[in-house]
A = this chain, B = another copy of it.
């Protein structure tokens, strides 16, 4: 169930709007045009791209687009739903035995949940189930960390290339132009500063925040998977179903838990 994470494009739009507003409010339309300098953009983008080519293997670089797209998607993994599923399954397993869960498998979308329950039904020992699923989590984490590192590195390299571009501009300006036309010193200096501006904007509005959002998504996904492992293990243990429920409930977000606790109070009264 992939949905668009509207906040990512909206945030980028807000950031760009602020810059455009700042430029036009004190520089007008002509000021705005002064900020579009294709060679400067090319130096920063091209430099960052070149550095990324040196830093990462081809197989990983090819994934950069696909990884970045995930910052614009929201996977909507609902912890409460999963907790509910396991509470339901553990009750059924207690009443009708573990094998009865086979019929429920079709209604489960998540392949990780499915895999875990299948292992439980197959009677694989708990430590082995945990080991196997933890290995899968570790592999997912490693894959995500590697993907995210491209954006983190790009966030480091963009300001550096901005500075390299500005140094190029400054050296040229001081070396060649200021001798003949001192009046051009201002505009030349402005162009030199543009690459620093692009580098800072790229790093602070794109690369770094996208890496942060990807990190948050990964953390959430891993957390959900940990909950699932606890659920599967508890499911198989069977008898301790109340304990499983208590343990999984720990993971539900605060607000929901408060609501639930209130409801419990009402029920108790």
Contacts and interface: CB of A to CB of B under 8 A. Distances in A.
Contact of A47 (B15, B23, B191): B15
A204 B197 CA distance: 18
Interface string A153-185: 100010011011101111111111011000100
Interface residues of A, number: 105
Interface centre among A17, A22, A131, A170 (most CB of B within 10 A): A22
Interface in A198-255: 200-201, 203-206, 208-210, 212-213, 216-217, 219, 223, 243, 246-247, 250-251, 253-254
B168 A23 contact: yes
A57 B213 contact: yes
A53 interface: yes
A174 B200 contact: no
A10 interface: yes
Contact of A18 (B42, B136, B167): B42
Contact of A139 (B172, B176, B250): B250
Given A19-B47, A51-B208, 6 more contacts: A14-B49, A22-B168, A31-B175, A52-B209, A54-B210, A173-B186
7 closest cross-chain pairs (CB), A and B: A11-B53, A14-B50, A15-B50, A54-B209, A11-B54, A174-B190, A55-B212
